[in-house]
Copies of this chain bind each other. A is one copy, B any other.
Amino acid sequence: MPAMSVAEIEQFLARVFPQALGHGFVIERVDERGSTLVMTTDERHLRPGGTVQGPILMSLADTGAYLAILGHLGPLALAVTSSLEMHFLRKAESGTLVAQTRLVKVGQRLVVAQVDLSRRGEDEPVAISTVTYTLPSRGGA
């Protein structure tokens, strides 16, 4: 069972971090092992050549990882991204992008998540990302 349901996460974000879902991001799934976050691209999101801008993809990965942490650990407003790497693999053309997050480590201090981004219905990812969050101390140093 996830620590928070999608509805609880939406309420939590609306209160503490309303920008999190600001690019038209929609939460599709959150459970204790990961999350699925989707967005439908529009003109604002594109770079020359019609590729979705990198920072939008990175925002999707960062938010997807954050949702997975909420799903695993519950409401932690102060979990903070400590690093994010992204590899841009293919032209991300307009359409619906799906960010699948998988938690690969949930430690006392660090969470590491892998995020695959792909267009809805396609197998090959347009980008892959590894995101690390630092957790607030839980009753200690």
**How long is the Cα–Cα vector from A138 to B112 in the complex, in angstroms?**
23
| Beta-carbon contact of A137 and B141 below 8 Å | yes
How many chain copies? 4
**How long is the Cα–Cα vector from A83 to B107 in the complex, in angstroms?**
14
Interface of A is mostly: mixed
| Beta-carbon contact of B58 and A80 below 8 Å | no
| Beta-carbon contact of A58 and B84 below 8 Å | yes
Chain B residue numbers with a CB within 8 Å of A77 are: 48-49
| Beta-carbon contact of A137 and B134 below 8 Å | no
Residue in contact with A83 in the complex, picked from B55, B81, B85, B141, CB distance below 8 Å = B85
**How long is the Cα–Cα vector from A82 to B107 in the complex, in angstroms?**
12
Chain B residue numbers with a CB within 8 Å of A88 are: 80-84
Cross-chain pairs A/B with CB under 8 angstroms, 26 sampled: A16-B48, A17-B48, A48-B78, A49-B77, A49-B78, A49-B80, A54-B59, A54-B81, A82-B87, A82-B88, A83-B86, A83-B87, A83-B132, A84-B88, A85-B85, A85-B130, A87-B104, A87-B112, A87-B130, A89-B104, A89-B112, A104-B124, A112-B128, A137-B140, A139-B141, A140-B141
Q: Which residues of A contact B (CB under 8 A)?
A: 16-17, 19, 44, 46-49, 51, 53-56, 58-59, 62, 77-78, 80-90, 104-105, 108-110, 112, 114, 124-125, 128, 130, 132, 134, 137-141
